[in-house]
Amino acid sequence: DVKVTQSSRYLVKRTGEKVFLECVQDMDHENMFWYRQDPGLGLRLIYFSYDVKMKEKGDIPEGYSVSREKKERFSLILESASTNQTSMYLCASSSPGQMNTEAFFGQGTRLTVV
Amino acid sequence: DAKTTQPNSMESNEEEPVHLPCNHSTISGTDYIHWYRQLPSQGPEYVIHGLTSNVNNRMASLAIAEDRKSSTLILHRATLRDAAVYYCILRDFDTGGFKTIFGAGTRLFVKA
């Protein structure tokens, strides 16, 4: 079974902390994505990556950074967590280059910043 | 980026067909139409996709209008397990990569 695994289902952090959200996929996909999901807003793209060490900003990159040192791992970093970053975070991966390929999602990490 | 418009919610009876509409009037010629759904407490999962022709798979059918400005996801016999949020998404061809744009989706309620 194909799998996208996020390191934590639930996370509680304090304001100002540096937070790492990890995502690993076992499908040898080039493309990986980070989204956040908030009630009434749907999924919003934060960052994506088409290859190792490559990254591109999505629709809402402010306050976030990413790291892609290995093909299978894509990390989302909150440099200084704030309460407005409390959200559900979803990681996804897909095959490269084709618009007709599906994306596979992880189970999500529910982050609460207090 | 191209946008999609879906109803906020729909309701269906179990064992009956469900037609979930999506408008995408700004679709470009190279955009594919994808549908995903999200069950409670899970990440989204792929349902179906198409370009111009209608498509069928084991989960659903996708009917695409001739002008491609709208599409309809068809669940032939809704079950309680189909209660989810359904997202209609266009693959926006920018740099040749894959970028999925999700709106608010349609929440489907299925009554027993």
Question: Looking at the partner chain, which of B93, B97, B104 has a beta carbon nearest the beta carbon of A40?
Answer: B104
Q: How is residue B60 written in tokens?
A: 């659903």
pLDDT confidence of residue A31:
87
Which residues 6+ apart lie within 8 Å of B60 measured at CB?
B35, B47, B48, B73, B74, B75, B76
Which tens digits make up the pLDDT trace of A44-75?
889 999 889 899 998 899 999 999 999 999 99
Q: B43 and A33 in contact by Cβ < 8 A?
A: no
**How far is the CA of A114 from the CAs of A13, A28, A111, in angstroms?**
6, 36, 10
Which tens digits make up the pLDDT trace of B38-86?
998 889 999 998 889 999 998 899 999 999 999 999 999 999 999 999 9
> What CA–CA distance (Å, rounded) separates A33 from B98?
10
pLDDT confidence of residue B1:
56
Mutation target among B98, B100, B101, B102 for the A interface, most CBs of A within 10 A: B98
